[in-house]
Amino acid sequence: MSPKSGKEGGGTSQGGKAWGGRFSQATDPTVERFSASIHFDKILASHDIRGSKAQARMLGRTGLISDAEAQELVAGLDQIAAEIADGSFPFDPALEDIHMNIETRLRTHLGPVAGKLHTGRSRNDQVATDLALFLRDIGLSTQRGLLELRGVLLERAKENVDTVLPGYTHLQRAQPVRLAHHWLAHIEVLGRDADRFRDARARVTRCPLGAGAMAGSTLPLLREETAAELGFEAPTRNSMDTVASRDLALEYMAAAAISMVHLSRLAEELVIWSSSEFGFVELADAYSTGSSLMPQKKNPDVPEIVRGKSGRVIGNLVTLLTVLKGLPLTYNRDLQEDKEPLFDTVDTLRDCLEVMAGAVATLDVKRERMAAAASDPMLLATDLAEFLVRKGVPFRDAHEVVGSIVGHVTRNRLNLRSLTKADMQSFHEAFDSGADELLDLERSLESRTLMGGTARVRVEAAIAEIESELAAERTELEALQAAAEATGGASPVPAS
C-alpha cells in the first residue's frame, strides 16, 4: 500500500494504515507513480539527514523527547547515512520521497521511537530546509567550477600575450587584438557569473526548520539553536513565506542560465575558430569526435553540446518561473516541480564548466593563421581616422575621408598599404606619409594604452590583477568550505 501524504506532515506507515486515520483508501497506483519523487529527490539524502539530526538534538534539549531518545535517533540517522554511502539503502518508490524513505527506514531500525523525530515538524519546512542546505552547498561547488575555468583561461592568456588576431564585430574583422586580451574578456564575464552565485548564496542565511506546515508550532521548539547548528545565521522570519517560497532556487537557476549563455558564447567561438574557414584553433582529440561516414572529419562536439545545453538550462528556469507564478500562499504540491529543473541545472552547469575547462586547456592555438588574418591592413582603418583627428580634423569628417579611401581600394582591388603619400593626400592634405608608414600593427596595438585596452602594458597588468583576484577567491572558497564542513555541509554533491 502506498503513502497518502501530499507533503503536509502526513503519510502512512508501511501497510497502508493512514497516520492520524484521515484516509480509509490506499492511494491509486497511478497516483502513486504520478506523485513519487524519490527517483530525483534522493540527491537530498545527506541534507535531509543533517536537518533531522539537528531536529532530534533540539527535541532532546527541549524535553519533548528524552536525551536517550535523541541520541538513539541521531545514531539511527548515522546508520542510514552509512547505508546510503555504501549503496545498501533500500530506496522504495512506494514511499514517495527521500524524506519518507529515511523516516520509514529509521522506524525499521529503531521501532516506535522513530515516530518522535517528526515532532513539531512538517514535511513542508523539512523540504525547505533540505533545499536551503543543498543550495548553500552547491553554490560553493559552482563557484569552484567557475574559478577553475577562469584559471585555465588565465593560463592561456599568459601564454598568448604576443599572439595577435582580428577582433570581430558582426562576425566581420574589425581591429587587431592580442589573444590574451580576448581570453581575459571571457574571464571578466565568468567573474561576474561567480559574483552572482556569491550574491545568491548570501541570501541562503535563514533556516526554515521550525516553520511547520505553514503557521509554526505550539511546541517549545528552539529554532535559533537548530539554525546555528546547521550553519545558518538565524531562523526564517515568516512561517508562511518559508514554506511557500522557492526564490532561492530561482536565483541559483537564473545565475546558472546567465552562466550557460556565457559558456555558449565561448563554445560558439571554439566551433567557429576550429573550422577550416578560420583555422585559429584545433581542439584536442580528447574533446572532439569523428564522423560516422566521412573519415576526414574532426568535429567540435564538446563545445557544440555545451552550446545546446544552454537552452536546456534556460528552459529549466522558465519551467520553475511558470510553476510559481500562479500559486497562492502557502504550500501547494506544485512546488514538487522545483527539484527536477533545479537538479538538472546543477548537473548541467557542473558538467559544462568541467568540459569547457578541459577543452580550453588542451586546444592548440594556430598563431600563424591568426597572425595572417590580423595582418589585413583594413583592420587599421580606424587608426587612419584617428591620425586625422590628431591633426585637428573633426572625427566625422575623418571617418568620411577614410571611408572614401577604403571604398577606393576595395573597388580597385588594391592593397591599402600600396597607397603613396600623394595618393593619401588626394583624399586629405593632412596625411603626411604613405599608408605603409601610417599603418603599423604593433604600433596600433601598443597605442591602445587606455584602461581596458589591448596594449601589452595593459594586458600584462590585467593578467597580474586577475591572478591576484583568483588567488584571493580561492582562499575565500577554501575558508567557506572549511566553515561549511564544520557544520556537516559542503560535501560533494553527486549527479542526480
Average the pLDDT over 281-304 and give the result. Answer: 92
Note the pLDDT of residue 30. 78
What pLDDT, on the 0 to 100 scale, is given for residue 6? 53
Is residue 149 within 8 Å of 266, Cβ to Cβ?
Answer: no
Residue listed under C-alpha cell 514511499: 95
Grid coordinates belonging to 158: 599568459
Q: pLDDT-based confidence at 10, cuts 50/70/90?
A: very low
Per-residue model confidence (pLDDT) at position 21: 61
As a whole number of angstroms, the distance between CA 461 and CA 452 comes to 10
Q: What is the DSSP string of 127-149?
A: HHHHHHHHHHHHHHHHHHHHHHH
290 band by pLDDT with thresholds 50, 70 and 90 = confident
Nearest to 368 by CA among 280, 306, 483, 428: 280
pLDDT-derived band at 7, boundaries 50, 70, 90 = low
Q: What is the pLDDT of residue 22?
A: 67
Nearest to 94 by CA among 172, 38, 177: 38
Report how far Cα 249 is from the mean position of its chain's Cα atoms.
Answer: 12
Give the whole-angstrom CA distance, residue 168 versus residue 177.
Answer: 10
| Rounded CA separation 189/119 (Å) | 47
Say which amino acid occupies 475: T
What is the pLDDT confidence band of residue 493, given thresholds at 50, 70 and 90? very low
Q: Is the pLDDT of residue 16 over 70?
A: no
Nearest one of 115, 204, 163, 98 to 484, comparing CA atoms: 204
> Which distant-in-sequence residues (6+ apart) come within 8 Å of 2 by Cβ?
12, 16, 26, 27, 29, 31, 32, 94, 96
Residue 490 — pLDDT band, cuts 50, 70, 90?
Answer: low
**pLDDT-based confidence at 145, cuts 50/70/90?**
very high
Q: Check residue 491 and give its pLDDT.
A: 52
Average pLDDT of 106-122? 97
Q: Determine contact, residues 59/226, Cβ cutoff 8 Å.
A: no
Phi, psi (5° rounding) for residue 299? -95, 140
Task: Give the pLDDT confidence score for residue 174 in this predicted structure.
Answer: 96
Whether 382 shows a pLDDT value over 50: the answer reads yes
Catalogue all structural domains in the chain, each as residue range(s) with its CATH number: 29-119 (1.10.275.10), 124-372+463-486 (1.20.200.10), 376-446 (1.10.40.30)
Task: Give the CA angle between residues 353, 356, 360 to the nearest 5°.
Answer: 140
Q: 323-371: per-residue pLDDT in tens?
A: 999 999 999 999 999 999 999 999 999 999 999 999 999 999 999 999 9
Burial code (b: 16+ CB inside 10 Å, e: under 16) for 183-200 equals bbbbbebbbebbebbbeb
Instruction: For residues 84 and 261, give the distance between their C-alpha atoms in angstroms, rounded to a whole number.
Output: 35
Percent pLDDT > 70 in the chain is 94
Residue 93 vs residues 24, 247, 288, 495: alpha-carbon distances, Å:
21, 28, 39, 19
Cell 588574418 sits on residue: 373
**Residue in the block written with cell 510553476:** 323
CA distances from 249 to 189, 204, 339, 419, 494 (A): 22, 10, 9, 61, 18
Burial 389-421 (b: 16+ CB within 10 A, else e): eeeebeeeebbebbeebeeebeeeeeebeebee
pLDDT of residue 28: 75
Q: Is the pLDDT of residue 272 over 90?
A: yes
Least confident segment among 22-36, 103-117, 320-334: 22-36
Q: Answer whether 313's CB lies under 8 Å from 348's CB.
A: yes
Average pLDDT over residues 92-102: 93
Inter-residue contact 301 to 288 (CB < 8 Å): yes
Q: Does residue 164 contact residue 371 with C-beta atoms inside 8 Å?
A: yes
User: Which pLDDT score is estimated for 23?
Assistant: 67
**Candidate from 15-19, 57-61, 79-83, 94-98 with smallest mean pLDDT:** 15-19
Segment 222-248 mean pLDDT:
97
Query: Rounded mean pLDDT of 15-23?
Result: 49
Q: Tell me, what's the pLDDT at 29?
A: 75
Question: Any idea which residues carry the catalytic annotation?
Answer: 170, 291
